[in-house]
Every structure is written in structure tokens, then in C-alpha cells.
């Protein structure tokens, strides 16, 4: 009988060792322990009891009873993961709080009084559904938190807006200290109009809400979200913070606008706004210093595409300074660009100054003024370059505006 060469055995042993090492490496990132719980009290104990990397499954059913899920033992590679055993079949009917570091909640449904508050670092809320919860605020992120990720969730039918006062759907409170929150790939739809102010779909706000927040950037990113019929109030997204990026979001038939309300150094880029017949639909409204509105698309909006605020003596509205309106396309909006929007108490405030308007296409379907200057505000020290106006009245005779067909 022939024996196998030693070299063949050596090759087989080596391959086995390589495969084993890859197996160990691949599974080392998985949870060390899996736990099944049947109540929020059991969940609260499990979060405190088990070690980092634990994956806690919620059995199907209704969960009630206000709890604080607190843990600081998770790590970037081994978070504490709380997951519905079957996505959408775990219903949370009361307030819960995620408090600590590296905690994730995945796949649950919030109804009745279901709401979530997050306070910590590197926490995540993912693939959850909020449907007609009767809680006022559905999601809150408290100041001092950082790297909170909120993604792939559904928020719909917030009928509590009809009765509760000042109840933002999502409120993120920051200190403008490099929080780096990330809100992305969520669907917000069918949010009824509230009774007055304070019904934003998303409010990103500096703690204590100073009219002009002190220096410091938040660096939060709100991107690739879809807003459909979000009609809570005039501000679908209200940014009252510094240094944030709003990118690639889509707004359809929303009775409101994306608003840079308080704060500076924010950027809105590659967002799309479609009026879809909603007379209250708007685009971007801004105030403050060094705001950038670039590469956005505005179509058929009932109010305006881009609106700039006057400043007020009490700083409730900070005048627009050094704003940059760049490479946007505005098509068939009721009012294309409005300068000098103002508060009723201050009908003639300080006009926007030192702004750059460059590379935009202003397209209207009828002969109407493209630029509206409220109270005959005249822009102070503005630069216009390479803008195109078509089928509208430019009103301004300058080299930076050409009345030609953009095609």
C-alpha cells in the first residue's frame, strides 16, 4: 500500500489551520450570549446583568411599564443589542429610555404610549415602527449624547398632534460639541397639522434654545430620509444648531420647509422638494451666518423655493449674512426666491447681506417675478454670477443673471 507524501499532509494541515483561524475570526464579532425575555422588567434586568456582546431577544407580544435600560459595558465591537425576535411583532406601549454606551434597539413597534429617550454614546435605534403612538414626543436625544444613530425606521400617523401642545416628533438636543449624530434612511409620513407652533417633524436644537448659539459645531448628519405629507407646522425640519449637514432628503406634499432657524454654518445639499399640489409646501428657509444651500431641486412648491429672513432687534431672527445659494434648480414654484421674510412684530428688519448667488436655474412656467423683495428690501453687497432665469422676470439687470433657455 502506498503512503501519502508528507508534503501532502503538511498542506492539508496548513489549510485546516487557516480555515479554523478564519472561522474563529469571523465569529469572534458575534454576540457572546443570547438571551430571550418576555417583559420590560426582564429586559431591564438582562441589560444590567449580562456582559458586553450580549444579544437580547424580545419575545412576540405587548410590552408595558416604563423602564430605563442602562448599561455602560458595551463596546464598539461588542454592543448590547436588544432585538425583536420577530420584527414588528414586539409592541412597546410605554416610555423607555436607553441610557449608557453602545446599546442598540432593533425591530420593535411603538404604539399606545410608546416612546423612546436616548442618553449616551454610540447608541442605535433601527428598523422600528412608530404608528399613531399617543406619546407627545416619539424620539428624544438628550444633551451630552454623541454618535447616536437613528436609521431605517418608520414614523406615521401622529394623530396626537391634533390635541397635544408643542410635541415635536423627533427632538435632538445638543450642545454643539461635536455630537456627530446620524439620522438616515427613515420614512416620515402622514403627520397631521398641529395647533400652532412646536410640531416639527425633526427638531435639532441647542440646549436652552439661544437665538444665536455660541461658537461650536454639532456635526450631525440628517440624510436620505423621505418626508411625505409631514404637515405638523411650517418647519418640517428645524435646525437650531451650528455646523450640521442635511443631505439627500426628499420632501413630498409637505406643508412646511427645511429651516435653518437658529445657528450658523449649516449645509443643505442634494435635497429634493416636490409640492405635489400642496399649497403650503416650501423649500429651504434660512437665517444666520455662513449657511449654504447648494445643489438642491425644488419643483412645484406652493409657497417658495428659497426664502431668506430679515433680522430683528431682539435677535429672535438673526439676519442672513454670507449665505451661499449655489447650483440649485427651481422649477414652477409659486414664489421662486423670497428675500426679506419677516416676523409680524418686526415687518421691516435688517436685510440679508454679503450673500453669493451663483450657478442657479430659476425656471417658471409663467411670466412672473422670480425674486420677491419684501418691503422693497434690497440685498446688501450681494454677488450674483452665472445664474439663469427662464420664462420669468428677472427684475435685476446685471451680468450675473441671464434670461435664456437652460436647455
Per-residue pLDDT at 25 exceeds 80: no
Question: What span, in angstroms and rounded, lies between the C-alpha atoms of 99 and 96?
Answer: 10
Question: What span, in angstroms and rounded, lies between the C-alpha atoms of 117 and 115?
Answer: 7
Would you state the pLDDT for residue 53? 86
> In the chain, how long is the greatest CA-to-CA distance?
104
Nearest 5°: phi and psi at 248? Answer: 65, 25
Say if CB 265 and CB 217 are below 8 A apart: yes
Would you state the pLDDT for residue 314? 83
Q: How confident is the model at residue 1 (pLDDT cuts 50, 70, 90)?
A: very low
Per-residue pLDDT at 8 exceeds 70: no
Would you state the pLDDT for residue 18? 44
The per-residue pLDDT for range 195-228, each reduced to its tens digit, is 999 999 999 999 999 999 999 999 999 999 999 9
Residue in 289, 251, 244 with CA at minimum distance from that of residue 268: 244
The per-residue pLDDT for range 68-126, each reduced to its tens digit, is 999 988 898 999 999 999 999 999 999 999 999 999 999 999 999 999 999 999 999 99
Per the structure block, which three cell numbers stand in for 368? 412672473
CB neighbour burial string for 8-37, b if at least 16 within 10 angstroms, e if fewer: eeeeeeeeeeeeeeeeeeeeeeebeeebeb
Would you state the pLDDT for residue 369? 84
Per-residue pLDDT at 38 exceeds 50: yes
Mean local confidence (pLDDT), 295-322: 94
Would you state the pLDDT for residue 333? 96
pTM value is 0.90
Mean pLDDT of the chain: 90
Per-residue pLDDT at 344 exceeds 80: no
Instruction: Give strand pairing partners of 120.
Output: 100
**What is the DSSP track for 49-93?**
HSPTTEEEEEPSEEE-S-EEEEE----SSS-EEEEESSTT-EEE-
Looking up cell 454623541, which residue turns up? 146
Amino acid at each position: 500500500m502506498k503512503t501519502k507524501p508528507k508534503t501532502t499532509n503538511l498542506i492539508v494541515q496548513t489549510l485546516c489551520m487557516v480555515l479554523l483561524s478564519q472561522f474563529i475570526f469571523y465569529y469572534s464579532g458575534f454576540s457572546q450570549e443570547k438571551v430571550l425575555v418576555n417583559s420590560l422588567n426582564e429586559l431591564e434586568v438582562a441589560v444590567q446583568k449580562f456582559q458586553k456582546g450580549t444579544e437580547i431577544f424580545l419575545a412576540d407580544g405587548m410590552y408595558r411599564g416604563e423602564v430605563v435600560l442602562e448599561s455602560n459595558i458595551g463596546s464598539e465591537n461588542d454592543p448590547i443589542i436588544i432585538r425583536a425576535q420577530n420584527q414588528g411583532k414586539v409592541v412597546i406601549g410605554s416610555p423607555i429610555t436607553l441610557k449608557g454606551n453602545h446599546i442598540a434597539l432593533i425591530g420593535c413597534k411603538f404604539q399606545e404610549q410608546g416612546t423612546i429617550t436616548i442618553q449616551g454614546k454610540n447608541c442605535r435605534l433601527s428598523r422600528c415602527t412608530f404608528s399613531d403612538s399617543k406619546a407627545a414626543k416619539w424620539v428624544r436625544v438628550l444633551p451630552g449624547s454623541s454618535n447616536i444613530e437613528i436609521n431605517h425606521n418608520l414614523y406615521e400617523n401622529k394623530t396626537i398632534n391634533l390635541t397635544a401642545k408643542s410635541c415635536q416628533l423627533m427632538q435632538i438636543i445638543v450642545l454643539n460639541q461635536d455630537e456627530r449624530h446620524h439620522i438616515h434612511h427613515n420614512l416620515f409620513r402622514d403627520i397631521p397639522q398641529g395647533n400652532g407652533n412646536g410640531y416639527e417633524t425633526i427638531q435639532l436644537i441647542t440646549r436652552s434654545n439661544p437665538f444665536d448659539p455660541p461658537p461650536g459645531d454639532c456635526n450631525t448628519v440628517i440624510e436620505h430620509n423621505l418626508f411625505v405629507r409631514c404637515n405638523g407646522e411650517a418647519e418640517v425640519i428645524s435646525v437650531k444648531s451650528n455646523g450640521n449637514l442635511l443631505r439627500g432628503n426628499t420632501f413630498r406634499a409637505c406643508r412646511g420647509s427645511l429651516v435653518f432657524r437658529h445657528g450658523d454654518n449649516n449645509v443643505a445639499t442634494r435635497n429634493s422638494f416636490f409640492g405635489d399640489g400642496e399649497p403650503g409646501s416650501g423649500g429651504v428657509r434660512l437665517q444666520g451666518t455662513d449657511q449654504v444651500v447648494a445643489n438642491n431641486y425644488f419643483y412645484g412648491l406652493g409657497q417658495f423655493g428659497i426664502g431668506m429672513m430679515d433680522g430683528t432687534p431682539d435677535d429672535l431672527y438673526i439676519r442672513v449674512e454670507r449665505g451661499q445659494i449655489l447650483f440649485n434648480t427651481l422649477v414652477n414654484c409659486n414664489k421662486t426666491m423670497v428675500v426679506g421674510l419677516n416676523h409680524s412684530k418686526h415687518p421691516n428688519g435688517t436685510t440679508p447681506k454679503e450673500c453669493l448667488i451663483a450657478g442657479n436655474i430659476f425656471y417658471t412656467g409663467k411670466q412672473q417675478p422670480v425674486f420677491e423683495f419684501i418691503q422693497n428690501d434690497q440685498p446688501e453687497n450681494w454677488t450674483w454670477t452665472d445664474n439663469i432665469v427662464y420664462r420669468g422676470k428677472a427684475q435685476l439687470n446685471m451680468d450675473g443673471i441671464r434670461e435664456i433657455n437652460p436647455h
